[in-house]
Structure 1
Amino acid sequence: MAKPASLRAYLASTARSESQAVKRLRRLQACGVLSQKDCDHRLARTLPERPVGELVWFHVARIQSVPAALELLETLREERPGLACLLTTVDPLPEHITLLANVIHMPLPDECTVVVKRFLDHWQPDALGWIGDGFRPSLLWHAQEAQIASVAIAAPDCALDIDTRFLLPALRHITLSRFDHVIAGNEAQAAVWRRMGAEGREVDVLGPLEEGTLSHRFEEYGFTELSREIGTRPTWFAANLCAGEVSDILKSHATVMRRAHRLLLIATFNDDAARDTFERQAANAGLRIAHRRDLTPITEEIQILIADPGIDENALWYRAAPTSFLGASLTQDGGTSPNDAVGYGSAIVHGSHVFNHANAYARLSAAKAARLVRSDTDLSEAVRELLAPDAAAVAANAAWAVMSSGAEVSTRTADLLHDLLDVREAIDG
């Protein structure tokens, strides 16, 4: 394939001696910015073994889009359960992000020809999904040369910027034209892609890829019995509580019970320390507790049900409780994903510290589909208002409408990637 002049000039600059890239990365290592492992990986050295079978490569330009990328992978695995994933980012992953099985995380390789070729030769991905912006001209050129089918996938708050130290005339146009298909966030983005050379049939305007894979793992086992025990009692669920939230939750519960005397609180916790703190403070307040693991009947006298820490039954609690407070959000712990609560039809209440899932909460907030609280007083008011069945249903339906749009983008993007992987499989076969 003939190289345009701008690309030839750029590739010539990135074909510099690998030793120069090594020196630059070693300086960053000496300053404490990079570890030895990070340096090696950015140079595509001492790489993990490539998994056997199909491998999809997701590059995520901005860390906040990693959860959406992992949801997309889960959607792909519904039809391809053995699919492995190479996940690359520019920045390190935050601690709160837990990778799925058979996902290898790496930093994006240095934009040096020798390094890029070594990276691609080692991983040999079957398809590339580039999520967001920060496009790398050399990397994308060599990926196309290696006949790796590629899709550009729009992400929130991302433009169509390329990541280079210098910008030559037409280099942006040349770089963006490397993709086989484009998922555009809106019509304006689609128009830019078409000006960059993408044909109309190659551009789908679906919206940005966002968190929103709605849960569908619920099983009826245990729900009928639980519903019978709870009966008509008003119920709310406090999920994934941290120790610093315990006092506010218990104060709110006690406050709302002054008017709703039969109110039941179901609680799960971030860790054992939070659960111990909760039990101690609840006992001191004279609240009557039952433990799910003891199979204690939920009689009218029980005011709090503590879930079994050894079993993930959140689906059950989101179904049983019309309203859920999503924990780790009144404290500086980054919040709990709202996806399961939305998927199982529970109205959402949360604190202001939800930076781990900022995009999802921003969308819910914009649609007034979640209730933000900052204190036990705010929480009491929110729970009391949402005890009205109509109010909880309206909030839950609004949240469903918001998050299901994200699920649709993920599903349709997965369909496209399936097509590309099927083509690759046929060629290799």
Structure 2
Amino acid sequence: MTEEVRTAPERKSAGDGGYETAQAFDEFMRSFEAFREANDARLDALERRAADVLAEEKVDRIDRALQEQKRALDRLTLKSRRPELGIEGRAPEASEHKAAFDAYIRHGEASGLKRLETKAMAAGTDADGGYLVPEETEREIGKRLAALSPIRAIASVRQVSSSVYRKPFLASGPAVGWVAETASRPQTASPTLVELQYPVMELYAMPAATAALLEDAAVDLDQWIAGEVDAAFAEQEGAAFVAGDGTNKPHGFLDYTTVAESAWAWEKIGYLLTGVSGAFAAADASDVLIDTIYALKAGYRQNAHWVMNRRTQAAIRKLKDGDGNYLWAPPATADGRATIMNFPVAEAEDMPDIGANALAIAFGDFGRGYLIVDRVGVRVLRDPYSQKPYVLFYTTKRVGGGVQDFDAIKLVKFGTA
């Protein structure tokens, strides 16, 4: 096995996306084999009490290359999945809304959009101004966000038309029991219902365009806007879904009250301890991960995911179980996810690093545990005045989020209490 690990090169050809993805996946798997070989040598040296600094550096170097190749592979996979705008239903040139929106974006001509939104019995502007983007563009932004935002990809997503979504949740059911055939039936206790509220908050991005770009008829401005705002939206969403405080942003699952799993109660999220401040236990490091898996009820484990950042994932990548098998396994396919103990990993960069008392790992069924609320409609306000000679496009969407089932998510705390 060669020790040289190449990072995945940038490829610009659009016609051979499948081939590019397959090549990138092959390179990724070769790098993983090199990583495993180097890490085995490092662990053997540690067991012989002959730690080799060069071996440590080699493992870290391969690990960094592995992470870079995985990101390149994810980009290629996302690119191959992107549909062309307008192919679902009607062609872009046949869409009246799209034509009116194009006129507004290129020339600032808003009469067509005003007429369409008046016909639809919708106000042409909201409190901040702007017009709704075409349905195809909104759908494309949603698809890209689902691919780029790790929590959105695994959580429940609901669309609403109001500013607050209220959801009743059965925290505890009615009391039940066994009785004889002719015995009296005692009155049972009433079920406990709680109302969860998810207000939607405004998220914005402001891409800028030059006059030359707007005058170029070959540029699909719908694609351009979707491409400009998706990364900005995904970055802000990702941070809020993980650690948002609920003030002008969604309520992240790490911002709720956390307690030791033995003291878990509704409206709190339980955690398990590694037993060492800022690290895994020196012996049987995988035990806390096993305990976390089985802290989750069986009904939640079927669709459970690990959530952590890439540095935490890199630390787990070096761990083995008692039989000498690595806990971390690479994805089986190019568009698959890496797994830890057979459960997929969602890589969220906004999760904290391993440190003293850090809640660096989450595990659970986020489809049942976390709810994202999207208000229908993405709006764009054209601003040719603030940053001349550039034209700014103030793009907004409204989104909220919060925990909906506090028993569906567990955390790993790197501490002793």
Q: Same fold (TM over 0.5)?
A: no
Task: Tell which has more relative contact order, 1 or 2 (C-alpha 8 A, sep 6+).
Answer: 2
Structure that is richer in strand per residue:
2
**What band does the TM-score fall into relative to the shorter chain?**
under 0.3
Structure that is richer in helix per residue:
1
Q: TM-score, normalised by structure 1?
A: 0.21
